[in-house]
Structure 1
Amino acid sequence: MRIVRLANFVTPVSGGLRTTLDELGAGYLAAGHEPVLVVPGESAGDERTRAGRRITVPGPLVPGMGGYRVITGRRRLRRLLDALEPDRLEVSDRTTLRWTGSWARAAGVPSAMVSHESLAGLLRLYRLPARTLADRLNRASAEAFDTVICTTAWAAAEFQRLAVPNLVRVPLGVDLRSFTPGNFDDGLRAGLARPGELLLVHCGRLSPEKRPDRSILALAELRRRGVPAVLAVAGTGPLLGSLRARAAGLPVRFLGHLADRDALAKLLATADVAFAPGPVETFGLAALEALASGTPVVVSRDSALPEVIGPAGAAVDDDPGAYADAVMSLLGRERRESARARAEHYTWPAAVRGFLRAHRLIDTSASPR
């Protein structure tokens, strides 16, 4: 079956969504299907990857978003969809690409929309009328597609309150071979922290919804208490300049985007504690990669991450003191063992099977709803 997948807001330096698209595509391919991913870019392209065929459609930059692009040419995309003749349509954008659900219905193609973000949460972040507007847009998405896929109960809640009948919940996974405690690197640690210092890490896009400032404020609070700690920040984005200014005088190492998975895996395994402070995370793949690396995580109580990390981390309120207390509570060998054990509940093969069930491409009798 040809599974055509559409996504906006994907760049070479974007994290969780890009990883998810790659891993699911590779899984579809291994299961004997033909995945085709369509994403925006600076210029047109068509290539074969480990995750199947990848078609790049020229799309404009979104101002102030640090390199994100969107597909805006409906006529061109409609022609491409007609030419591709998909057996299934999977859309990872519930706003600018919602119209493709209508295209799929008219073409007789079963369709699924994957909810990668909390719409109500994002609207709250930008001080917009969250509940009313989110309910209207979410209802429109549910009506436009045959299936709505959410990765956590937290993400599904905004659809469940609308009594959406076509909702499916499928957790994502983590690469348990690439991310492992065995990646601990003495040389890397020596380069980032002095003996006796705690090494903290923040991995993620430096954008408002990720709230990277909370990690810097937590470091400042720990230093104020006399705790010797340093923070490594892996990622880039529109807030980089302001974060550098906020971190002035603090031991913060800005590492930029780590395109090399091995480098990221070493960093996560070498850290003592990781931060994932985004309040609107619907799954939190970076946090799960930290857990797989044996590193406990401090997360925002407002996000889906408490559901994902379980007892392998700490969920706190938006307060530097709470983050600092959580860091100190998560130190110790038993915490690292607990982190790895928790991550082992989430695998990409299980996620692929779940998505294929949602697409009605394998037995649906055990599909979680």
Structure 2
Amino acid sequence: MRIVHVANAYAPRSGGIRTAMHALAHEYLRSGHEPVLVVPGPTAHVHHAAGVRVVQVPAPRVPGAPGYRMVVRPAVVRSVLEALAPDRLEVSDRASLTGLGLWARDAGVPSLVMLHERLDGVLAAFWPGAGSGARPAGAVRALTPVVADAWNARTLGRFDRLVATTEFAAGEVERLAARRRPAGPGGQDGAHGLPPLHRVPLGVDLDRFTPDRFEAPLRRCLAPRGETVVLVVSRLSREKRVDLAVDAVGRLVADGVGVRLVVAGSGPQLTALRRRAQRLGIDHRFCGFVPQRDRVAALLASADVVVAPGPIETFGLAALEALASGTPVVCSATSALPEVVGAAGAWASPEPGPLALAVREVLDRPVAARRAAARARAELFGWAATGEAMLALHHATSAGPSARTGPPPRADMRPVARVGDGGAR
């Protein structure tokens, strides 16, 4: 099969979606299929990356999001798809590319959309004043799910299948389905006008991200006085709420804990976050964007704990890479990460105090035990299983939606990792 995957959030310094697209493409290629990635760029261009064809379509920059571009002329992508003649279509976008589901329906090409984000969370993260620590007003909290549901109701039905990586990511669709499902025996999947929803966890490169990547010289560089290393690997943008991690480390410093904050990533909030760390008296190092994946792996393996504070993360590949590297993760209880982290870390409400307590709880565990638990947890999430699950979905559809008389059959999916015991509540 020729499997074409189209996305907007793909840039030279982008993280999760780009990583997932290439990892899935590798699994498809390994299974004898032909993956093609269609992504935005400054100009039209075609190249190959590790044997995978990448078709770049011209798209303007996204204001306030350095490195990112968004397709504003979907007709260009439709022309590319006409030329590629895919057997299956995957879309990782909830904005300008949702109309591709209609193209696929007309072309008789089975399609799916991957739910990499929750729209209600994104809307809440970007309301005026969000990221300042204040809570949104009641009217805003009430409005965001209404707006998200309206958009989802309009766009998700254009595709044959929906794929969520966690229960958290699926929750938005399940809420909408519950509202629209008729009462009685006719209220099964498909009766509410939404495509079947599948849960397929993402994976991690277990060969690249490993405890063996620990580097003593790097560790001495990060913590020259033997401090505890608290690491954040994230894009430094508003919705990631890296300020919560900085403030949590500030609480630890105020309590006399010898810690050093290390931040790997770039973004519009870099200057503000560095100033925040200085103001709180935190011994810190901002590394900027680290392009070499092996260097990221070494950073993760050489830290004591990784903090992933984003309150609306729907999976968190960086956190999973930390676990694979033998480093426990502290995360926000409001995100999907507790499903991924399980007992190999801790989670707390997205506030500095509770996050600081969660860090201390993890650091109180015996080092060898916490590192072994982190690696064991990550080994549940190999990319091979993700690729197999996605191919099962693609093989389950033998004809385009125009030939269907009912909803496509469900494939047996590997269950989403559930929250384990031991998290800080």
Q: TM-score, normalised by structure 1?
A: 0.97
| Aligned 8 A contact 1:202 1:234 in 2 | yes
Establish whether residue 181 from structure 1 lines up as the match of residue 211 from structure 2.
yes
Taking the aligned partners of 1:51 and 1:170, their CA distance within structure 2 comes to 24
- Give the one of 136, 143, 146 matched to 2:157: 143
Displacement of 1:74 in angstroms is 2.3
- Give the one of 219, 242, 247 matched to 1:212: 242
Aligned to 1:287: 319
Establish whether residue 227 from structure 1 lines up as the match of residue 257 from structure 2.
yes
Aligned to 1:103: 103
Amino acid across the alignment from 1:204: S
Displacement of 1:264 in angstroms is 0.6
Aligned to 1:366: 412
Amino acid across the alignment from 1:309: V
Q: Which stretch shifts more, 276-285 or 9-18? A: 9-18
Displacement of 1:182 in angstroms is 1.1
Aligned to 1:265: 297
Displacement of 1:275 in angstroms is 0.6
- Identity, % of aligned positions: 50
Taking the aligned partners of 1:341 and 1:152, their CA distance within structure 2 comes to 19
Aligned to 1:56: 56
- Give every structure 1 segment of 4 or more consecutive aligned residues whose post-TM-superposition deviation is greater than 6 Å: none
| Aligned 8 A contact 2:126 2:239 in 1 | no
| Aligned 8 A contact 1:112 1:359 in 2 | no
Displacement of 1:142 in angstroms is 2.3
Q: Which stretch shifts more, 108-117 or 64-73? A: 64-73
Taking the aligned partners of 1:267 and 1:7, their CA distance within structure 2 comes to 28
- Residue 314 of structure 2 aligns to a residue whose secondary structure is coil
Aligned to 2:421: none
| Aligned 8 A contact 1:142 1:166 in 2 | no
Larger Rg: 2
- Can you list the C-alpha shifts for 1:129-150, whole angstroms capped at 9, x where unaligned? 2111111112223211000100
Aligned to 2:330: 298
Q: Which stretch shifts more, 44-53 or 32-41? A: 44-53
Taking the aligned partners of 1:261 and 1:171, their CA distance within structure 2 comes to 21
Taking the aligned partners of 1:64 and 1:53, their CA distance within structure 2 comes to 29
Establish whether residue 342 from structure 1 lines up as the match of residue 377 from structure 2.
yes
- Residue 395 of structure 2 aligns to a residue whose secondary structure is coil
| Aligned 8 A contact 1:179 1:292 in 2 | yes
Aligned to 2:124: 124
- Residue 265 of structure 1 aligns to a residue whose secondary structure is helix
Displacement of 1:335 in angstroms is 1.2
- Can you list the C-alpha shifts for 1:194-250, whole angstroms capped at 9, x where unaligned? 333101100011111111111111111111001110011011111112112212242
- Residue 71 of structure 1 aligns to a residue whose secondary structure is coil
Displacement of 1:162 in angstroms is 2.3
Taking the aligned partners of 2:174 and 2:84, their CA distance within structure 1 comes to 33
Displacement of 1:172 in angstroms is 0.5
Alignment size in residue pairs: 369
Displacement of 1:76 in angstroms is 1.9
The verdict on how the C-alpha distance between 1:22 and 1:361 changes in structure 2, with shifts beyond 3 A counting, is farther
| Aligned 8 A contact 1:22 1:51 in 2 | no
Displacement of 1:368 in angstroms is 5.5
Taking the aligned partners of 1:325 and 1:3, their CA distance within structure 2 comes to 46
Structure 2 unmatched runs, 5+: 128-139, 178-193, 398-408, 416-425
Establish whether residue 199 from structure 1 lines up as the match of residue 229 from structure 2.
yes
Correspondences of 1:75-90 after superposition (within 5 Å) = 75-90=75-90
Taking the aligned partners of 1:186 and 1:224, their CA distance within structure 2 comes to 28
Q: TM-score, normalised by structure 2?
A: 0.84
Displacement of 1:367 in angstroms is 3.5
Aligned to 2:148: 134
Structure 1 unmatched runs, 5+: none
- Residue 360 of structure 1 aligns to a residue whose secondary structure is helix
- Give the one of 384, 387, 393 matched to 1:352: 387
Displacement of 1:259 in angstroms is 1.0
| Aligned 8 A contact 1:274 1:296 in 2 | yes
| Aligned 8 A contact 1:299 1:315 in 2 | yes
| Aligned 8 A contact 1:154 1:304 in 2 | yes
Displacement of 1:364 in angstroms is 6.1
Amino acid across the alignment from 1:195: R
Taking the aligned partners of 1:291 and 1:354, their CA distance within structure 2 comes to 22
